[in-house]
A and B are shown apart, each in its own frame.
Chain A
Amino acid sequence: MTTRSRRAVITGIGVLSPIGSDAAAFWSALRAGTSGVRAIRGFDTSDLSCRIAGEILDFEPKALIEKSYRKSLNAMSRMVQLGVVAAQLAVRDSGLMKSLMPPERFGVSFASVMAETDIDDVAGLGAACSAGVGRPVDMDAWGRTGVPQMPPMWMLKYLPNMPACHVTIMHDAQGPSNSITTGDLAGVAALGEALRALQRGAADFMLVGGCESKLNPLTLVRLDVFAPLTREYEHPERAVRPFDRDASGTCVGEAAAAFGLEELAHAQKRGATILGEVVGFASGVDRGLTGAGLARVIRNALADAGVQPADIDHVNAHGVGVRELDRFEARGIGEVFGRDVPVFAPLSRFGNTGAASGILELACSVLALRHGELPGTLNHDDPDAGCPIAVHTGPPQVVTKPYAVKVSTTDMGQCGAVVVKRWDNA
């Protein structure tokens, strides 16, 4: 192992979520146990089997985005807009002045996906060359009259590296830049990569973010045919039930979250407010979803941080509300922590936000450590006997220890863990 004399602290948070779109509103909704899972309002869902989601109802990119960048919004899908605005909120929160930051020391590490096309963008060209549903496309018409109708910047609305690229341009961030696409693991992976970049001295400030909007008709119908979405949602806010005996599946959401992650001495020199420290990271695969591989990854992250399970206030789990996946996650967490460390799973409040989930969910723990209170998990009423963990529910409980562990997992067993520490002016 290399010596790690450089430390990484969080100096800014930006959140756009179904339960609040600034850090203060987000925290008060978390404390209050507010759910952001509702019937979808953005478009007609009558032909979908799952009609609920964590939808952001108050997102007004035009009002939020820096004026000079407003016209670029047209070239961004909703995912990109969310990512760019969350990044802007995080930079603003960190108090970073563009003129004071050497641009080559400012990097970007973002989690995202290939966004699905807006139907309006392909409707016209579809009409130009379709001979009807189920029929071959008229490729001659496609070439001659279809393609010319495609918006010139169509591809750039949806590519996964667009959030990071816009962020580099908006903030003159010329340092290392990457866009990680590993599904629900991507956020934690992006954070881990940024942590290592700061530790090895490749940058002094890393904008770390994640964004995804699954609230798109094409995304939702695709997920409808293969993803374990709940069909039981008479009460949307009760539908996603992490580690619960009555777990019936998950639902999707949309969000973006970003951290300003900064080398400690750099942050202290400019007098930045420090919100927490990222002290450990590890990742790996648990191919059989047994939990043993996840436990190994968690132990590696604890070792990287130099802490023991007894130092941990709580584990922040993904908890998607799908029995097989929750049991996998619980076995891994349980193997390391038993029932001694409470588990908090914020996802039941806003649905699975995919590439945004790692940073968004971790933001809950950073805020909990900072405020000294851990909110309760929603919709965990009857523990699933297959989940050997103690899930914290009900009203907020007092934070008693300085560290939290964020766990992210995918349905293919890809997993990552990050250890964060409360900032005590130490």
Chain B
Amino acid sequence: MRRRVVITGMGVVTPLGHTVAELFANQTEGRTAVGPITRFDARALPTTFGSEVKNFDLRRYTKDADRFARCGLNTKFAIGAAKQALEDAGLLDTASGDRTRIGVYLGVGEGPDNFPALVNSAAAAVVGDRAGSARFVAAIRPALDPRAESEVEMHTTVGHLSRLFALDGPNASCLTACAAGSQAIGEAAELIRAGDADAMAAGGSQSMLHPLGVAGFTRLGALSHRNDSPATASRPFDLTRDGFVIGEAGGVVILEELEHAKARGATIHAELTGYGSTADAYRMTDPHPAGKGAIRCMANALADAGLNATDIGYINAHGTSTAANDAMETTAIKAVFGAHARKVPVSSSKSMLGHLIAAAGAVELVISVMAIQKGVLPPTINYATPDPVCDLDYIPNAARGVRVDHVLSNSFGFGGQNVALVVSRFRG
């Protein structure tokens, strides 16, 4: 029989709270974290708002915060989330358990940015309309801090978690755009199922709230422009939605092989029962309009969990608040769930959190687990004007008390990367 994977720890650093309890309370109360960007001066940009992590202090999570001072927010948020998750799971003590059987798998975004140096050096390099590489190099070199530059290397975030928490098992990072956090959790579960590890700290961490990140999404036409009302800008499935709200976060869950968790008397929050990963193979920027890849990834996750669509009590949608995603996701849910699609409640955590990019799937899985544990489904806020093509029950504006046993969580990324996870109430 296949090795079963349960969730024994959870931790988050999000714009709506730095603990799982605070995050879920804010989600069920329908609070938004979206507001003007304060991280840098964004006033002249087409989009001036985002969903920022506020009052984050790395010293709460490690005695050696100075050691990580030059790390990017990707690493800092990951440390905060992983510390909480390991503590929750009772695995923080580095002498506990066989550390060679505990690994790390995160969807990780970019490291520290050096926007002023890049822009100024590129400008200094311009002669005619081609940039001179030697002038560029000469201009930027004095502005480069070796310790920060080494943190740009993409293997460092998961490497730091290994070192800080003595996790010597498989160590991997992925970046499949907005699907990365879910993908890391799904692949980490597969490592446990295959016997490559007994437990994994898995999730995602990213901040694109820096000038080039916001500009890049602006140029792709992906962001909401509702500058006069940031708090209502993220409005998934609403007719007047006009793009997503850029956010940032870290989210980590501890996945553990069932017998391993039982043997050490761990508290089991839920069971990770299903994982599906597919590609649209369609276009770089647009999802397949009929949801070809999304349909198969949800169906694969259900089959992997051994469940029927009617077993699912709640869908935590990808629900980005872009015109294309929300219409496609609705179509895909209808294709997979048939008549049950009208009965199963669907909501988007992004209506309150914004889009946490590589962290989105991880934080949303934590919310899904909490929904099972607390019997409360968080709403989709800012839902005002129904869209005829988005005609499901989106739990509009107010949380709902419902007991659910199985939750489907969707994550779809640029380039047509689709991941679905199924999390279930644990039954021995």
Task: Tally B residues with Cβ within 8 Å of A.
Answer: 99
B123 and A130 within 8 A (CB):
yes
Partner of B123, one of A123, A143, A154: A123
| Shortest Cβ gap from A403 to chain B (Å) | 20
Partner of B43, one of A143, A161, A184: A143
Partner of A180, one of B123, B173, B194: B173
B417 and A44 within 8 A (CB):
no
Assembly CA distance A145 to B266 (angstroms): 56
B190 and A200 within 8 A (CB):
yes
A1 and B195 within 8 A (CB):
yes
| Shortest Cβ gap from A43 to chain B (Å) | 4
A165 and B417 within 8 A (CB):
yes
Q: Mark A173-205, 1 if CB is under 8 A from B, else 0.
A: 111111111111110010001001101101000
A181 and B159 within 8 A (CB):
no
List A contacts of B190 (CB < 8 A): 193, 196-197, 200
Task: Tally A residues with Cβ within 8 Å of B.
Answer: 103
| Shortest Cβ gap from A149 to chain B (Å) | 10
Assembly CA distance A218 to B141 (angstroms): 9
- Asked whether A183 and B154 contact (CB < 8 A) given A220-B137, A283-B170, A287-B162, the answer is yes
Assembly CA distance A123 to B119 (angstroms): 7
- Mark the stretch among A52-60, A368-376, A381-389, A406-414 that contacts chain B: A406-414
Enumerate B246-292 residues with CB–CB distance to A below 8 Å.
Answer: 277-285, 292
A143 and B42 within 8 A (CB):
yes
Assembly CA distance A164 to B134 (angstroms): 32
A32 in contact (CB, < 8 A) = no
Partner of A47, one of B46, B137, B413: B137
B130 and A120 within 8 A (CB):
yes
| Shortest Cβ gap from B74 to chain A (Å) | 11
B136 and A161 within 8 A (CB):
no
- Mark the stretch among A133-141, A254-262, A335-343, A390-398 that contacts chain B: A133-141
List A contacts of B163 (CB < 8 A): 287, 412
List A contacts of B121 (CB < 8 A): 126, 133
B87 in contact (CB, < 8 A) = no
B144 in contact (CB, < 8 A) = yes
B2 and A2 within 8 A (CB):
yes
List B contacts of A108 (CB < 8 A): 279
List B contacts of A196 (CB < 8 A): 190-191, 194, 196
- Asked whether A150 and B159 contact (CB < 8 A) given A137-B115, A161-B175, A200-B194, the answer is no
B116 and A181 within 8 A (CB):
no
A75 and B284 within 8 A (CB):
yes
| Shortest Cβ gap from A139 to chain B (Å) | 4
Assembly CA distance A388 to B123 (angstroms): 50
Enumerate A342-361 residues with CB–CB distance to B below 8 Å.
Answer: none
Q: Mark A135-159, 1 if CB is under 8 A from B, else 0.
A: 1110111111011001111111001
- A-B pairs, top 4 by smallest CB distance, nearest first, are A143-B44, A165-B415, A183-B155, A412-B159
- Chain A residues with a Cβ under 8 A of chain B: 1-2, 43-48, 75, 103-104, 107-108, 113-114, 117, 119-120, 122-127, 129-137, 139-144, 146-147, 150-156, 159-162, 164-166, 168-169, 171-186, 189, 193, 196-197, 199-200, 202, 217-218, 220-227, 281-287, 293, 296, 410, 412-414
21 of the cross-chain contacts (CB-CB < 8 Å) are: A44-B132, A45-B133, A48-B137, A114-B110, A120-B131, A122-B122, A124-B126, A129-B119, A143-B44, A150-B216, A161-B415, A168-B280, A179-B174, A180-B173, A182-B154, A196-B196, A283-B170, A283-B171, A283-B172, A410-B159, A412-B155
